[in-house]
Structure 1
Amino acid sequence: MERRTFLRATAVGGTSAVLGGTLWRGAAHAAPAQPGTGPYGPLGAADANGIRLPAGFTSRVIARSGQRVAGTSYTWHHAPDGGACYADGAGWIYVSNSEINPSGGASAVVFSATGAVTGAYRVLSGTRQNCAGGKTPWNTWLSCEEVDRGYVYETDPWGVKAAVRRDAMGRFKHEAAAADPVRKVVYLTEDVPDGCFYRFRPSVWGDLSSGTLEVLVAGSGTSGPVSWAKVPDPSGATATRDQVPGAKRFNGGEGCYYAEDTCWFTTKGDNRVWQYDASARTIQLAYDDSLVSGTTAPLTGVDNVTGSSSGDLFVAEDGGSMDICVITPDDVVAPFLRVEGQSASEITGPAFSPDGSRLYFSSQRGTSGSSSGGITYEVRGPFRS
């Protein structure tokens, strides 16, 4: 997560020209985003939590690593990373990974209908460096190990059912996952400089115990048609990314988010946000900091990504200015928030509450710059719908 300079220097095929927007269907995010005025206006002064927000938004601290979650007896994990929210009656649950090795795992915080914290607990233990992951349509959390030949673990956000290791989803340096209920697949990113983009097709949708792991195959450019090929040996005895000739290489796969026939995923080595049009079976760039014209790129250190019901993408920075930036459907990119005084950290785990009124995220190493200094936040305000 802190290898951006090295990764950028080892980019594969990163200099190809982007094809014109006329190649693509007339949809949102049709061209690489450019800086502009965001939908929420300028950032204000830092609040008491050191967060700069637009007018009308407020923040609060939900949990701190190594300390009990307020109102509970549960001690929050170190290095909070990927996360997701789940409806829980009139309230909701926020699940968060722990990117430490050994131990890792994931925890959850429970909220009432008013947003009060009512509980916290462990949902996954005994795993390694759980970085990002993804939410399934059947309300489980896919927690991904960011280690060589790492696994995906399917966990229960309510902490009732035991977590299950999903071997069929492949062994590689997993980062994030995003479920596509239309094509009944799960997309997966790989966090290495010459990594690939995968999809897993379960034998039965809703059951990840068996299925077919496939890798995206394409040319060396940044846009155009793609195809998928079966990975012969998901066990990773031979690196998954090296098993299929012509597999497209991506420079450090990070966040992954699906909505409306599109899977957006990020690559940190070249500061790009990609979009895979699952209907047309094409890829293109939604953002590339090297293609920003006439000004300093507002989004660097591209990392975790999520989206809102308005079609806005929210992209977190690993380093950079410690921003979460918004990319609008009309291809404008602008800072949404900035965390001050935590330059040795990174922003992780952005996820919206089920009603879309609250955004959760963490500063993985907080003000201390150590995995024991993580802070998990909530931002509340007039998010557009």
Structure 2
Amino acid sequence: MERRSFLKVSVAGAAAAAFGGASWSNAFSANAAPGDGPYGPLLPADGNGLALPHGFTGRVIARSLETVADTSYRWHMAPDGGACFADGDGWIYVSNSEVPFIGGAGAVRFGPDGSIVDAYRILDGTDVNCAGGKTPWNTWLSCEEVDKGEVYETDPFGVNDAIVRPAMGRFKHEACAVDPDRQVIYLTEDVGDGGFYRFTPATWPALSAGTLEIMVGPADQTSGAVTWAQVPDPSADDEDTRHQVEGSKPFDGGEGCFYANGTCWFTTKGDNRVWAYDAAASTISLTYDDDTPLSGVDNVTGASSGDLFVAEDGDNMEICVITPDGVVAPFVRVEGHDESEITGPAFSPDGTRLYFSSQRGTGGEVISPGMTFEVTGPFRS
């Protein structure tokens, strides 16, 4: 995509085109359980600490506080949520920085052969930018994970200034996912009694104004019909958004969020669950409710095959695959990063490369430099 095409592309059918249409249609009809994954067992870790299945290779593309190869950009601390965007014959990977007060986000541009050709800043001066979401019109929604945090719409191509979107609510944002079929955006909230929200723009796809709603249902409900109610004051000037609607359904630490073909999957770290919201039926169900092999559920993304890839915050530092037929298995393990978390999983536009970060790397401290990886191999389609 040309840089000047920012916010000028058609969004109709974008999710179906990106994620394989029918591959998702009947996915995850029952709780997923451990089993033999589609890629086989993990081999011993390589020189970068990546334990991968046969046929896959990995490399480090960036390290916090170090200049990205062949560029002048110093990679940010605490790399977190991320996404990939097509860029002509190449692509771009964007990454948040979960650092207090300076936060923001950066990007790496790749050429058609996978070589790094540029890296640059796309957002500055924000606070604890955790996860976010990619839009079908090729912007990155970067979310602040602080009380009364906001959503910033940013330009992955580095041309347009970021714009704050207060109509999307002020709360401890984690991630969001765009549903172009219903023209809404789902949002998670990372607190112990966090809400699950949807934002309906007044004029699609402009995010400057609209209606913020919160899911309503019993606190202990894990399946069945749910409803939505409007949040009276998205600015939360007098009361937190999650407490403004009687009967709003609490979720224990909302984390990653991903939409494809009528379903929005989201994770809750406090109870280690992967949820599925059926947008057409307005029902919820559990895709994963266990503690092995996937523990510390966090960021989530999907492949064109219909597989979900869920990253761990802690545990043994794995990204696990959940297949449409309900098998959960490790796909990659990052060894020697015991006090870190895996963040920002995202596939390149052609689906052959998976990007993610170890937020704190091997140092084990909150401010330890992070590492961002690329895994290449025969991902199924």
TM-score by length of 1: 0.91
How far 1:28 moved relative to its partner? 1.1
Q: List aligned pairs for 1:1-385, cutoff 5 A.
A: 27-219=26-218, 220-237=220-237, 238-289=239-290, 297-370=292-365, 371-385=367-381
RMSD over equivalenced CA pairs, Å: 1.0
**TM-score under structure 2 length normalisation:** 0.92
Distance in structure 2 (CA, Å) of the matches to 1:289 and 1:336: 17
1:31 is displaced (CA, Å) by 1.2
How far apart are residue 175 of structure 1 and its match?
0.2
Return 5+ residue gaps in structure 2 as ranges.
1-23
Q: Which string of whole-angstrom CA distances, capped at 9 and with x for unpartnered residues, describes residues 88-109 of structure 1?
A: 0000000000000010000000
Query: Does the 8 Å contact 2:80/2:131 carry over to 1?
Result: yes
Instruction: Answer whether contact 2:143 2:149 (CA < 8 A) is retained.
Output: yes
Query: 2: distance between equivalents of 1:33 and 1:364?
Result: 27
The whole-number CA distance in structure 2 between the counterparts of 1:372 and 1:108 is 20
Residue 241 of structure 2 aligns with an amino acid whose one-letter code is T
Partners of 1:62 and 1:298 lie apart in 2 by 27
CA contact (8 A) 1:66 1:372 kept: no
2:26 maps to a residue whose letter is A
Aligned to 1:6: none
| CA deviation profile, 1:241-276 (whole Å, cap 9, x unmatched) | 000011010000000000010000000000000000
The offset of 1:26, in angstroms, is 8.4
Give the 4+ runs in structure 1 shifted more than 3 A: none
In structure 1, C-alpha distance between the alignment counterparts of 2:377 and 2:205, rounded to whole Å: 34
Instruction: Name the SS of the counterpart of 1:241 in structure 2.
Output: helix
After superposition, what is the alpha-carbon deviation per residue over 1:39-79, rounded to whole angstroms, capped at 9, x for unaligned? 00000000010110000000000000000001111100000
CA distance in 2, matches of 1:214, 1:273: 21
> Unaligned stretches of 5+ in structure 1?
1-24, 291-296
Conserved 8 A contact 2:362-2:368 = no
* CA-CA distance at 1:338 after TM superposition: 0.2
Q: Hey, what's the Cα distance between the residues in 2 that align with 1:272 and 1:343?
A: 22
Contact 1:298 1:335 in 2 (8 A): yes
**How many Å separate the matches in 2 of 1:190 and 1:74?**
31
Residue 88 of structure 1 aligns to which amino acid in structure 2?
D
Contact 2:25/2:261 (8 A) holds in 1: no
